[in-house]
Structure 1
Amino acid sequence: MRWRGVELKTPEQLVAMRRAGLVVAQTHVALREAAAPGVTTGELDVLAREVLARHGATSSFLGYDGGYDDPPFPAVTCISVNEEIVHGIPGDRVLAAGDLVSVDFGAIVDGWHGDGAITFGVGELSPADARLSDVTREAMWAGIGAAHLRGRVGDISHAVERRIREEPLTYGIVRDFTGHGIGSAMHQPPDVPNYGRPGRGTRIVEGLALAIEPMVTLGSEEGLTLDDDWTVVTADGSRAAHWEHTMTVTSAGLWILTALDGGEAELTARGLPYGPLAD
């Protein structure tokens, strides 16, 4: 069903999205455990393909056409390392100790999508990189926590930005890429920017599913696209982090479709209502 240009899911469709979200969560766990010095990003992509196959799921990313005459995306994961912000193409790059790695991954089950991203270190991160990832993750959860029925998407955007701006260090908030609606397609209206004013944008109602995904840098927010037409790097070479969850708001509370526990632990710790339809 469409409402004011956005797709609203039935409870049964949200449950199907939850199944896709669990594949995303399990793939993130597998890749984080497998990432080590000497492992290539291409090997991690092969592992992600194996997880998809085990669950009878397909990839949201493989063959994705980004428009603007870009070539179709050639992998099932986006693996972005260090100064790469997003859309890194897995291949021969060998991971090294201290690398900052972001894995963005999408899965389709019965025609419904789940989309999520995590950032982690290969071995021990520098304090600055570890803090960058932590702040980005905290900003994602701040945005999730700002979502409530009859609220607006701008409430989420404002909460993400406010959490990042609370830090004494000035971080770059990437503006060229945003969160988004999600459901029967990976990218749908509405956009969910990581900055903005509260009380603006699409109203949050039952059946609306959103992917909330801040991308934050240790320097400039500006990015450059490499010659592969996909990989986006920071213009100043600073490191970047990316966290994302697919979520929805039910009459009972918040439900994180791409978290293994549905978001229960994080939401409870933050004093937020956990409201799964079925889990």
Structure 2
Amino acid sequence: MVKSIEEIKKIEIACRKSKYILMELGKMIRPNISTKMLEIEAEKLMKKENVISAFKGYRNYPASICISVNEEVVHGIPSESKILKEGDIVSIDVGVIYEGYYGDCAYTFKVGKVEEKYEKLLEVTKTALLKGIEKAIAGNRVGDISSTIQRFVESNGFSVVREFAGHGVGRSLHEYPEIPNFGEPGKGEILKENMTIAIEPMVNEGSPWIKILSDGWTVVTEDNKRSAHFEDTVWVRKGKPVILTKI
């Protein structure tokens, strides 16, 4: 969906607030902290920033943020019983609403020192996001973003999750168009100037296959290998795209 400049300014404020909250949570990550404690801190930060959670109550999701640890891909529910430990990787997804406009971002953090293979998983996923963002130019197609992410990830020996995708962001959390992390260049919807889209590679250490746990939300890798997730919201322009979730 194409936005007005006034709308984009509001979306940018929401995006910057979401990223600020996300990175403040990142500073709190350490061994022996529960994911529930991180959610409590997120709620304090949201109140301070005068925003509300975009996730809580969305399709009955029970928490204010998503926290996914190790083999959890996305949509992990914070819990007092889930305690982070040295060597874990933990992805936090923060979505907020500011004056009716949405911001959405995610980042995978390390808990202390992690194995080299997980360092690579995080670095490849982060780089795949940046490479995808470079293709978010008016006149390109969605497949130009999707294929760029997929090819880079697979060339590094990892796999992309297919069941979940990026999306438009603005007056709603999930808007048109959908931005998969796999596809063919030159295919899909044409990107239009002043679209605002969330690009979010979800990258698995092993196979791309996933399953959903009995809580109805938490997505995990089928082979129990680890997964990483990075997300930014981007303003599509004729020239270089602008990362709205940049602080």
1:81-92 alignment, distance < 5 Å = 81-92=69-80
The counterpart of 1:147, out of the listed 129, 136, 142, is 136
Closer/same/farther in 2, CA of residues 52 and 154 from structure 1, 3 Å limit: same
1:68-79 alignment, distance < 5 Å = 72-79=60-67
The counterpart of 1:216, out of the listed 198, 203, 219, is 203
Letter in 1 for 2:77: I
Superposed CA deviations along residues 104-155 of structure 1, whole A, max 9, x for unmatched, are 1101111111111100110011101111011011111110011211111111
Residue aligning to 2:175: 188
- RMSD of aligned Cα (Å): 1.0
The counterpart of 1:246, out of the listed 230, 233, 241, is 233
- State the Cα distance separating 1:197 from its structure 2 match: 0.7
After TM superposition, where is structure 1 displaced by more than 6 Å over at least 4 residues in a row? none
* 2-structure distance, mates of 1:63, 1:258: 23
1:31-110 alignment, distance < 5 Å = 31-65=25-59, 72-92=60-80, 93-110=82-99
Contact 1:139–1:214 under 8 Å retained in 2: yes
Contact 2:138–2:239 under 8 Å retained in 1: no
TM (normalized to structure 2)? 0.97
Secondary structure, aligned partner of 1:29: helix
Instruction: Name whichever of 132-141 and 195-204 sits farther off.
Output: 195-204
Higher relative contact order (CA 8 A, sep 6+): 2
Identity of aligned residues (%): 39
Q: Give the total of aligned pairs.
A: 246
Contact 2:137–2:238 under 8 Å retained in 1: no
* 1-structure distance, mates of 2:40, 2:180: 31
Secondary structure, aligned partner of 2:58: coil
Contact 1:23–1:51 under 8 Å retained in 2: no
Residue aligning to 2:100: 111
Residue aligning to 1:12: 6
* Structure 1: tracts of 5 or more residues without a match: 1-6, 66-71, 261-279
Closer/same/farther in 2, CA of residues 19 and 164 from structure 1, 3 Å limit: same
TM (normalized to structure 1)? 0.86
Contact 2:133–2:145 under 8 Å retained in 1: yes
